[in-house]
Each structure stands twice: as structure tokens, then as C-alpha cells.
Amino acid sequence: MIEALSALPTTTWLRAVPYALIAALLIAVPSDVIDTPLFGRPVEVQAINYVILAITSGLTGLIFAIRVQQSAASETQGSRTVWGGFVSFLAVGCPVCNQLVVAVVGTSGALAWWAPVQPLVGLAAIGLLLWTLRYRLQTYQAEACPVPVECRSVPVDQWAEERSAIGGEVGGGEADVDQM
């Protein structure tokens, strides 16, 4: 994945910055990680909240900055990115401000149970966004280097036989497709 990221054009990285800033604001302002007069937070912001916010905002910005053609795959990736942002919001939000948690376990339960779990929720958000980024990069690479038309209708087994006949390396079916 690092190789694919390093191959991205500079314009993609420049586009990622405003997207990441917008994602950070959409997550940090309502959760009051960034202190504003609009929202209050009775529980102090933890250092891990800033780390989770920075990582998830950066990943979200990068995913949205990588332009791919509109398709079912890109819509799924967009949905996963939004869900990753929502899970990130839950991870950095005030534990006693989450009305669902307070309704289920009460205020003391939110502090005793939900607050210690929030960093794990942040890891889940990061994992979801990394997974989405991986698939976004695969979609981007497939569009940048499409399979030639004459090869699209050739079954994998036939393609492997033809490739091995000319001395090319052949891997195991799906692994070759994933490498594209």
C-alpha cells in the first residue's frame, strides 16, 4: 500500500489537505475536541482523542482525494469512509454526551464502561478507513492501468497457460487479479 501511495500524483496529496481539514472540523467541532461556544464537553479531552482525530481525518481526506470513476465500488468506498468518520466521532466524543450510551448504561456507566472502550473504537475507525483506502487504491490503479480489451474475455486458466508458454511468471488466479 505504501508503494501505491507514493505513486499518487502531487495533486492528489494537495486535494487531500482540504478534505482532511473538513473531516477534522466535522468530527472535532460537534464532539468539542476543538473548543467552540457551539458545544460543551463536561469530560476533558484525552490526548488519544487528538491522535485518533488526526489519523482518521487524514485517512478520510486521502480517500476522498483519490479520484475514481463513479461506480458501485466507489459508492461503497464512499459509504465506508463516512462510516469510518462516524465511528471516529464516537471514539473522540465525550462519553457522557453520547445519549445512547447514557440511556443504556447511565452516566456512571458511560464513564466507567464507554470511556475506556473509546480508544478501541478509534482503532476500529482507523482499521475501517485503512481497509477502505486499500480498496480505493486498488480501484484507482485498475482504472489507471486497465486490462487490455483482448484479455478481458480470456479465462484466468487460459491466460495463465498462455503466459507460462511465453515464459512469464504465473501466480494463483485471484492473487494476479488483486495485483492489478
* pLDDT (tens digit per residue) in 130-176: 999 998 888 887 776 655 555 555 555 665 666 666 665 544 444 44
- Asked whether the beta carbons of 121 and 154 are under 8 A apart, the reply is no
The 8-class DSSP code of residue 29 comes to T
Same domain, 111 and 174: no
Half-sphere exposure of 11 (CA within 13 A, CB side): 1
Range of the domain at 140: 2-146
Same domain, 94 and 177: no
pTM for the model stands at 0.72
**Into how many domains does the chain fold?**
2
The set of cell numbers assigned to 98 is 453520547
Report the alpha-carbon distance of residue 113 to residue 122 in Å, rounded: 15
Phi/psi-derived region of residue 12, left when phi > 0, alpha when psi is between -120 and 50, beta in every other case: alpha
- Asked whether the beta carbons of 18 and 64 are under 8 A apart, the reply is no
The residue with greater pLDDT, 22 or 3, is 22
Query: pLDDT value at position 3?
Result: 85
Same domain, 22 and 69: yes
Same domain, 122 and 169: no
Same domain, 17 and 85: yes
Query: pLDDT value at position 166?
Result: 66
pLDDT band at 122 (very low <50, low <70, confident <90, very high): very high
Same domain, 137 and 172: no
Same domain, 27 and 110: yes
Neighbouring residues of 24: CB distance < 8 A, sequence distance ≥ 6: 34, 53, 54, 57
Same domain, 172 and 118: no
- Compute φ and ψ for 9, nearest 5 degrees: -65, 155
Same domain, 58 and 91: yes
Query: pLDDT value at position 144?
Result: 67
Mean pLDDT of the chain, nearest integer: 81
Burial class of 132 by CB neighbour count within 10 A (0 to 12, 13 to 18, 19+): buried
- Asked whether the beta carbons of 38 and 29 are under 8 A apart, the reply is yes
Same domain, 130 and 157: no
pLDDT in tens, 81-114: 888 888 898 889 888 887 788 888 888 888 888 8
- Asked whether the beta carbons of 60 and 85 are under 8 A apart, the reply is yes
Same domain, 155 and 137: no
Neighbouring residues of 171: CB distance < 8 A, sequence distance ≥ 6: 179
Same domain, 94 and 173: no
